[in-house]
Structure 1
Amino acid sequence: MSDWTLLALAVALCLILIGIAVALVLTGPGTRRGRDARSRPERSSFRRGGEKRTPRRAGIIINPTKFDDVAAVRQELTEASRALDWAEPLFIETTIDDPGTGQARVAIEEGVDVVCPLGGDGTIRAVAVALAGTRTPMGLLPRGTGNLLARNLDIPFGTDITEALRVACSGRNKSIDVGWLELDPVEEPATEDTGQAEEPIEGPPVDRHPFLVMAGMGLDAEIMSGTSEELKNKVGWTAYFVTGGRKLFVKRFRVRWSIDGQEQPEVRARTILFGNCGTLQGGLQLLPDAAYDDGLLDAVVVAPKTILGWGSVAVRVIGRSRKDAAELIRTSGRTYTAEVDEPRPVQVDGDVIGEASRMRLTVDHQAVIVRVAGTD
């Protein structure tokens, strides 16, 4: 195999890892596809005997920074709700101090039938905190750069949020796991992440962060932290390709880690990732055994030394091989710890939350109910 072929394979893997890093290219079905996406008849329009039931109502948690005209968006969603025989939604906007957790709790107290985060992945994570452990479903109205969870659950995203609202109002319920990441010690955050752990909504930066897709340390977070908001605003998620090309050979770091209390052999990694799901764009499977409802987190250590090592990783991922090697270690468990010598950037669902030298990861089995396309 020529050096040029190996370089091409390395570049291909770079694109894969960029997708992992921001979780922007995660697509499709995960491990279990929903049934057909036909429009669902309103299941609660009438009581027995023909008595009309009070229309159902959605609580929509809006991140106003995602829209130029919030009033127009509210009007559009109100009209779409009425077309579905639902009442006018309860609209609550997020704030800098509270990106969605407190608003979701208010919506639950108001008795809404579904809580819909309308924004990016940070808004979804914040709302998921309030819904974890409740019977109130979450209906995704994705309007961010990544739309990570929506991509994995086949929920419509893009400019037409009314189709996503239809799924939120008339889809079927799917219980998914929630991963939790604790940082120790907590370093100064790259961005504010208040309101995205159980408590407090306000105050010092939190040290317990939820994630619904992937969390990691190393190359993935380096790419995220090295990509400017200006470039993302101009070209969208493809901005990460530019950074990824520069970060391909980020220095390896020593990782001491454990799985469910059992110490693992020390590794020198370029990135270590923990995921609820592992299917990438085009059906590529970095974590082929991952499922977002099995009560487990799957992990992968990517540790190539040279371009030949990158080629080996690329061949295994592209070829859907379940065989691991020194460059690619995959496993699963319920609780992980990972410790490094120097603080490094950490990301959850594509958002860099700060730096830490130690991580602890756990999972809550099927803690959140999400509305997905299809019928019961």
Structure 2
Amino acid sequence: MSKRPQIRFIINPTSGPKSRVDVAARIAILLDHEKYKHDIVYTTHAGHAPELAREAAEAGCEVVVAVGGDGTVNEVARGLLNTNTALGILPKGSGNGLARHLKIPLALDKAIQLLNKGQVASIDSGCINGHPFFTTAGIGFDAYISSVFAGNKKRGLQTYVELVMKEVMSYKHLPLKASINGTTFDTDCFVMAFANAAQYGNNAYIAPMADIKDGKLDVCLVRRLDLIKALNLSYCMLTKTLAHSDSAEYFTTEHVKVYMEEPIMYHADGDYLGKATAFDVQLLPLSLKVVVP
């Protein structure tokens, strides 16, 4: 009898909305134990998940499953980059950007059952100033909202939209110099988003045409906004029509460099990373294996 491959589940006990569902119990019931053996580990601090994922990959684990939100998925995926171990996702966050893009079921039981089918595909990832991302990274207003959202007790799309509407008119636009595809230009920047996947999460589409396997980043530049343009921008994001509006300009590229005169906030997969005056953003082609439908 052949040896069963190992699956490790990495659970962030603080991620996402509060739930009475016992994730470990559902895994015990629904995982195909004739096909896989498994273990479950829990994160205890920020930055713990990459260590646990890397350890599992080095031990020959076939799949490592992130159980949590976008931050947990990012951390687990970082530990699996450029390995033969595939990322699995049991979405338990408020945004679930990568899961939604890959059409992984948001319902826990269906997501566990998907793991039993074991279909693995390779996807691209991105890197902003050395920090990997898998859906989007960005500088400007989206990073500012990420910093505010992180400290908010309420989660979900409604809270996110309320924050955007509250903060949009007081946000200070900053000038930047960008180098894309051999062309350098100066512009005002409300948001510059670097999209590997189509959406931030919560079905808010910043780059509806983004292909996570095409070897390209979709760069979305939103210049100076007034209130009417801000409302239109929000509507277009939620209706997947932003690429066809006059609210944003798009570029496709493998590498972007951005320079600022003063520090600006930036994020990766919705996690606020701080401020910087220079950014180097690169696409890492087919660098992560993922369990998909």
Tell me, yes or no, whether TM beats 0.5.
yes
Q: Residues 111 and 146 of structure 1: is their aligned pair in 2 closer, same or farther, counting only changes over 3 Å?
A: same
Matched, 1:212 2:134: yes
Q: 1:340 aligns with which of 242, 260, 264?
A: 260
Secondary structure of 1:139's counterpart equals strand
* Alpha-carbon shift at residue 269 of structure 1 (Å): 1.6
Question: Which residue in the other structure is 1:194 paired with?
Answer: none
What one-letter code is carried by the residue in structure 1 that aligns with 2:119?
Answer: R
Question: Which residue in the other structure is 2:222 paired with?
Answer: 302
Q: Using the alignment, how far apart are the partners of 1:230 and 1:312 within structure 2? A: 25
Matched, 1:252 2:173: yes
Matched, 1:99 2:48: yes
* Alpha-carbon shift at residue 238 of structure 1 (Å): 2.0
Q: Using the alignment, how far apart are the partners of 1:101 and 1:312 within structure 2? A: 38
Matched, 1:180 2:137: no
Q: Residues 163 and 223 of structure 1: is their aligned pair in 2 closer, same or farther, counting only changes over 3 Å?
A: same
Q: Residues 164 and 338 of structure 1: is their aligned pair in 2 closer, same or farther, counting only changes over 3 Å?
A: same
* Alpha-carbon shift at residue 59 of structure 1 (Å): 1.0
> What number of residue pairs does the alignment pair up?
290
Secondary structure of 1:264's counterpart equals strand
Asked whether the equivalents of residues 61 and 115 of structure 1 are also in contact (C-alpha less than 8 Å), the reply is yes
Asked whether the equivalents of residues 82 and 287 of structure 2 are also in contact (C-alpha less than 8 Å), the reply is yes
- Summarize deviations over 1:242-285 as a string: whole Å, max 9, x none: 2111122222210101114x242211021111101235899886
Secondary structure of 2:156's counterpart equals helix
Q: Using the alignment, how far apart are the partners of 2:228 and 2:163 within structure 1? A: 21
Q: Residues 166 and 357 of structure 1: is their aligned pair in 2 closer, same or farther, counting only changes over 3 Å?
A: same
Q: Using the alignment, how far apart are the partners of 2:48 and 2:160 within structure 1? A: 24
Question: Which residue in the other structure is 1:148 paired with?
Answer: 97
Asked whether the equivalents of residues 97 and 200 of structure 2 are also in contact (C-alpha less than 8 Å), the reply is no
What one-letter code is carried by the residue in structure 2 that aligns with 1:149?
Answer: L
* Alpha-carbon shift at residue 352 of structure 1 (Å): 1.0
What one-letter code is carried by the residue in structure 2 that aligns with 1:113?
Answer: E
Secondary structure of 1:138's counterpart equals strand
Question: Which residue in the other structure is 1:226 paired with?
Answer: 148
Q: Residues 89 and 241 of structure 1: is their aligned pair in 2 closer, same or farther, counting only changes over 3 Å?
A: same
* Identity across the alignment (%): 27
Asked whether the equivalents of residues 217 and 347 of structure 1 are also in contact (C-alpha less than 8 Å), the reply is yes
**Higher share of residues assigned strand:** 2
- Summarize deviations over 1:290-321 as a string: whole Å, max 9, x none: 21111111101111443465577679876947
Question: Which residue in the other structure is 1:165 paired with?
Answer: 112
1:5-154 equivalent positions in 2, closer than 5 A: 52-66=1-15, 72-81=22-31, 83=32, 85-96=34-45, 98-154=47-103
Larger Rg belongs to: 1
RMSD: 3.0
Asked whether the equivalents of residues 139 and 167 of structure 1 are also in contact (C-alpha less than 8 Å), the reply is no
Asked whether the equivalents of residues 139 and 165 of structure 1 are also in contact (C-alpha less than 8 Å), the reply is no
* Alignment gaps of 5+ in structure 1: 1-51, 183-207
* Alignment gaps of 5+ in structure 2: none
Q: Residues 370 and 230 of structure 1: is their aligned pair in 2 closer, same or farther, counting only changes over 3 Å?
A: same
Asked whether the equivalents of residues 80 and 87 of structure 2 are also in contact (C-alpha less than 8 Å), the reply is yes
Q: Using the alignment, how far apart are the partners of 2:50 and 2:240 within structure 1? A: 41
Q: Residues 90 and 109 of structure 1: is their aligned pair in 2 closer, same or farther, counting only changes over 3 Å?
A: farther
Asked whether the equivalents of residues 96 and 202 of structure 2 are also in contact (C-alpha less than 8 Å), the reply is no
> What is the TM-score with the length of structure 2 in the denominator?
0.86
Greater relative contact order structure (CA < 8 Å, 6+ sep):
1
Secondary structure of 1:290's counterpart equals coil
Q: Using the alignment, how far apart are the partners of 1:321 and 1:115 within structure 2? A: 34
Q: Residues 156 and 304 of structure 1: is their aligned pair in 2 closer, same or farther, counting only changes over 3 Å?
A: same
Q: Residues 241 and 368 of structure 1: is their aligned pair in 2 closer, same or farther, counting only changes over 3 Å?
A: same
Q: 2:272 aligns with which of 352, 357, 361?
A: 352
Question: Which residue in the other structure is 1:236 paired with?
Answer: 156
Secondary structure of 1:231's counterpart equals coil
Q: Residues 116 and 361 of structure 1: is their aligned pair in 2 closer, same or farther, counting only changes over 3 Å?
A: same
> What is the TM-score with the length of structure 1 in the denominator?
0.68
- Summarize deviations over 1:122-141 as a string: whole Å, max 9, x none: 22112212221122211111
Matched, 1:287 2:207: yes
Q: Using the alignment, how far apart are the partners of 1:321 and 1:73 within structure 2? A: 37
Q: Residues 91 and 307 of structure 1: is their aligned pair in 2 closer, same or farther, counting only changes over 3 Å?
A: closer
Asked whether the equivalents of residues 178 and 256 of structure 2 are also in contact (C-alpha less than 8 Å), the reply is yes
Q: Using the alignment, how far apart are the partners of 2:202 and 2:25 within structure 1? A: 36
Asked whether the equivalents of residues 156 and 202 of structure 2 are also in contact (C-alpha less than 8 Å), the reply is no
